[in-house]
Structure 1
């Protein structure tokens, strides 16, 4: 939804907003519909609370113009029910008999404004403008809390000119124009969230929210409430209305949430926790995984029907070792963007140092390279030992770097990972974070070398 005010038009236009008018008087419904319809995407009308509830089961609504004096269930009772079910649409109440007690009750129920009959068209448009502006600001504030507005990747979010990156860019540009569900696959640290943001920015819905959620970081009950909402708060599906919901590490979803997600993909509706009513949603789903979901389907860990729903389009992100020719561009980009953010001067990377970076296999991919540049900016220089010295290292490792870096890439990678593990006393979670890889990837590498712990 966009609350855009046209020049010279105090009423404003909201080309994506849907408004529901609820009034038992046909003449009032017609008056409100005629005043608002030219300025919004759609106006729905209902003559009772029951008709309004039926429409809300079928449509996402940004704003209700709701008469208090309705036959049967009155407007305030309907508003209380909607809030209890997790429907957070803006509401402007309409009444011919306003008093202080009614106003207080309306505010407590969740109304944003009240209109006193009789009113003029300008009053209706003013209340509509303020309500839709509140909705826009609420979403913007949520996005700012997630620090999305501070993310400024270049162009389509990808850096490099290698064949691998050009192929990825072409795939993202081609898929961004359609609303199909996309599954991003690739190792940890390859930039799957950046690719998801590129899909969003290149899509026709770039002005709508981009909402990321990591499916591996929360307990199932917490994640369910975060995704679908509760009686007291909107879920991320609703927050992302009209935009993109990015489900990172989707393979970590427990079975119950896999079933719930499948239902959303099939019905385009969500049901808040504890509610008996569904909320229509218009959201593009982009999911990501760092492991083969097909193997999880075979083992019974992941639902086959959900896998095929997510895999309408699959885009695989290449590991950094497959496009090492992009390392100089990536280093320059990270120095340019991180130095001002950290408040430090940029560093120079010599040809010898760049050659060393291009030898290394980067098990943590682009994320590990970014972490290296950030640490180097803080200390003011980059050299071959920087890979080994993000924290105090055993002296043997330091001597290896000074006397000559190993030329065998597998040996180089092994020494680096084991040095990081030693520096944190074997804490694999902390080591994986420093390396920019998942703990599962780290454990697999260590197991391959016959290490225990």
Structure 2
């Protein structure tokens, strides 16, 4: 048996811990035909895509064309060692997991491999279960890394879904939305979701993802208006070590974490113009370039965007690129405001009571007709998100009058001639006064971003 020949030991079973290998792709780089053939036979029934090449030059061609979840890399290659090539691709911004295999290992090579970013290191000859275990560890770590990242973002955003599509209520305004979500879930097209703040745009985007064939992978949301313009490119595409001051190490971007899944760009109209150009290129070519990298990386990500602004007006004013608008607006889904579906308020209120009572550790009270009457008479500038915040205050204060007083101020009128904009301004200024001008806290209570709140205050001269 040669040093490069693997040992097939069927008596040592292997268990795929997380499963889902059928969604994974692997690139094998080895100059020995027997090893390439063996690894391909071993993996082709387990993974969705297995490619084999005999040189780093051929590997570079495939990496430019496709995304691979894992690379199995021989260290002894003609012209260039596997470790040297691994260092090169890391410097170019490629973060693929790599298992290095070699027949001539020493401590120095192992240390260099790990420092270069190899996820695992195997000495030939190896058993079948050893290579499968190494691959499984890589997939498990990648799964957990993405899972932890997504869970941290979930805790930050506090998005809760109810039912399959997350939409609560049976109003006529919701029926076409539900039907559209089901249809859009079956296609890969880019979708632009419009509507006022707090109408459930992210919930609709999540529903499209959960009902699609991408649901096995992650839904990654990002609020474009909440990320500083100078770091938004790194946030989306990642960066390589030394790309800018403070970049002490390479970092994957949100497109990386959304690989195979869905990236939700909320408040997309807040993107700087320079970033709009780069996003358009990514949407058209399905490739990203991490900040400071010399190489583009293919990605398989569905993009769903959302905005509460009038994008056509922004295009006319030169604040949003027309070509990006057309590229995002393949299909548009408009979320109705709560004032157009007031019949859903009882169902929403009862849902929020159940949800928030458990989170707050208080008794779940049943809203009565007096509270529903008060809720139905309000215009809801903050929409469903504002309703949720009001129910939270009701559960804490326990007094309907204390809560409904938040909807009016002394001296205000309920005259039907009062415009929606006036009601919105009145309510926002009242919340700002309650929090002593803290725009971050006011935005949280109102269900809008700080940037949106600052824009409104600037318009009002506040």
Relative to the length of structure 1, the TM-score reads 0.89
In the alignment, what sits opposite 2:59?
Answer: 52
In structure 1, C-alpha distance between the alignment counterparts of 2:448 and 2:160, rounded to whole Å: 23
Which of 256, 265, 270 aligns to 1:247? It is 265
In structure 1, C-alpha distance between the alignment counterparts of 2:168 and 2:403, rounded to whole Å: 23
Cα contact 1:212–1:247 (8 A) shared by 2: yes
1:223-234 equivalence runs, <5 A: 223-231=232-240, 232-234=250-252
Which of 424, 430, 436 aligns to 2:447? It is 436
| Structure 1 residues 36 and 308: alpha-carbon distance in aligned structure 2, compared to 1, 3 A threshold | same
Please state if 1:279 is matched with 2:283: no
Which of 142, 161, 185 aligns to 1:153? It is 161
In structure 2, C-alpha distance between the alignment counterparts of 1:141 and 1:420, rounded to whole Å: 34
Please state if 1:10 is matched with 2:10: no
In structure 2, C-alpha distance between the alignment counterparts of 1:180 and 1:70, rounded to whole Å: 42
CA displacement 1:227-251 (0-9 Å, x = unmatched): 0011101111111011000000000
In structure 2, C-alpha distance between the alignment counterparts of 1:223 and 1:150, rounded to whole Å: 22
Please state if 1:210 is matched with 2:219: yes
1:394-405 equivalence runs, <5 A: 397=409
In structure 2, C-alpha distance between the alignment counterparts of 1:182 and 1:358, rounded to whole Å: 31
- Cα RMSD, aligned residues only: 2.6
Query: SS of 1:285's equivalent?
Result: strand
Please state if 1:109 is matched with 2:120: no
Which of 300, 314, 317 aligns to 2:335? It is 317
Query: SS of 1:179's equivalent?
Result: coil
Which of 166, 173, 178 aligns to 1:169? It is 178
1:247-266 equivalence runs, <5 A: 247-266=265-284
In the alignment, what sits opposite 2:144?
Answer: 137
In structure 2, C-alpha distance between the alignment counterparts of 1:65 and 1:413, rounded to whole Å: 58
Cα contact 2:13–2:129 (8 A) shared by 1: no
Query: SS of 1:197's equivalent?
Result: helix
Structure 1 gap segments, 5+ residues each:
1-7, 391-395
Alignment coverage as a number of residue pairs: 434
Cα contact 2:194–2:335 (8 A) shared by 1: yes
1:415 Cα deviation after fit = 5.2
Query: SS of 1:43's equivalent?
Result: strand
Which of 365, 377, 386 aligns to 2:403? It is 386
1:360 Cα deviation after fit = 0.3
Query: SS of 1:261's equivalent?
Result: helix
1:60-99 equivalence runs, <5 A: 60-99=67-106
In the alignment, what sits opposite 1:293?
Answer: 311
Query: SS of 1:160's equivalent?
Result: coil
Please state if 1:308 is matched with 2:326: yes
Cα contact 1:349–1:382 (8 A) shared by 2: no
| Structure 1 residues 270 and 146: alpha-carbon distance in aligned structure 2, compared to 1, 3 A threshold | same
Query: SS of 1:314's equivalent?
Result: strand
Relative to the length of structure 2, the TM-score reads 0.87
CA displacement 1:362-408 (0-9 Å, x = unmatched): 011111111111122222x1414314459xxxxx94x679xxx9465
In structure 2, C-alpha distance between the alignment counterparts of 1:253 and 1:243, rounded to whole Å: 22
1:418 Cα deviation after fit = 4.2
| Structure 1 residues 219 and 347: alpha-carbon distance in aligned structure 2, compared to 1, 3 A threshold | same
In structure 1, C-alpha distance between the alignment counterparts of 2:445 and 2:300, rounded to whole Å: 38
In structure 1, C-alpha distance between the alignment counterparts of 2:104 and 2:456, rounded to whole Å: 73
